[in-house]
Amino acid sequence: MTGQRILIVDDEPQILRFLRPALEASGYVVTHASAAHEALRAIANTAPDLVLLDLGLPDMDGKSVIEQARQFTRVPIVVLSARDREAEKIAALDLGADDYVEKPFAIGELLARLRAALRHAKSSAAAMTRIEVDGLTIDAERRLVARDGAPIKLTPREYDLLTALAGNPGRVMTHGQILTAVWGPAHKNDTQYLRVFIGQLRNKIERDPGRPVLIRTESGVGYRFAEIG
């Protein structure tokens, strides 16, 4: 299909054994690195379209790979991590990773995340003017939000929060990233604000606020806006 190049960084050969055929079957070109130094060299030299990074590497902490890579590239990085390691996930995202996938994962889920990350990398340059997802429309030029054609009244803060999330469809945003974007860096740790505002926003925009579809909770990490399309 696209021929986009994906660099897999993982020291477990068994993982590569199924990832490679699955990604290749999806039309990606797969390269592989099994250690951090090798990975950084590959990112610098081959400029892949996306990096799939296992955080548990033998020679260096996976997080420092992100940190160092971010000094010279904006390549999307998707992290492979364990479910019980929230702190590690948040740290990786705050250091500049684009998303994470919990191990063990179904291949479909992984492919969806890869697509979202790749798309976001492409679209981030273009200004977002109009978003439509699951019956919700956001008109950025006129600052209007409507569900199924009926306008929704949002406070300025709620609107900012919604656009911050909707600007990264399908991607996880950490609490800290959202708070910094909407409230400013001084409020980076005021997670309780965020809970309240997310609740209000869901009440206004979700069809069933008890079972949110547009803004999903990534427990312990942050929120993820629905994928567009």
Which residues sit at the interface with other proteins, rule CB under 8 A?
Answer: 11-12, 14-15, 17-19, 21-22, 25-26, 34-35, 56, 58-59, 82, 84, 103-108, 110
The least distance separating other proteins from the CB of residue 219, rounded to whole angstroms, comes to 18
Give least dist CB 50 to other proteins, A.
Answer: 17
Please state the closest distance from residue 25 (CB atom) to other proteins, in A.
Answer: 4
Residue closer to other proteins by CB (options 34, 180) is 34
Q: 22 vs 181, which CB is nearer to other proteins?
A: 22
* Token duo for residue 180: 């910094």
Note whether 99 and 114 are within 8 A (CB): no
Select 26 or 73, whichever has its Cβ closest to other proteins. Answer: 26
**Dihedral angle computed from the Cα positions of residues 118, 119, 125 and 127, in that order, rounded to the nearest 10 degrees:** -160
Q: Strand (E) positions, 120-169?
A: 130-133, 136-139, 144-147, 150-151
Distance CA 110, CA 108 (A): 5
Nearest-Å Rg of the Cα atoms of the chain is: 18
- Asked if 145 contacts 37 with a C-beta cutoff of 8 angstroms, the reply is no
- The smaller minimum CB distance to other proteins, of residues 19 and 164, is found at 19
Task: Tell me the closest approach of the beta carbon of residue 174 to other proteins, in angstroms.
Answer: 21
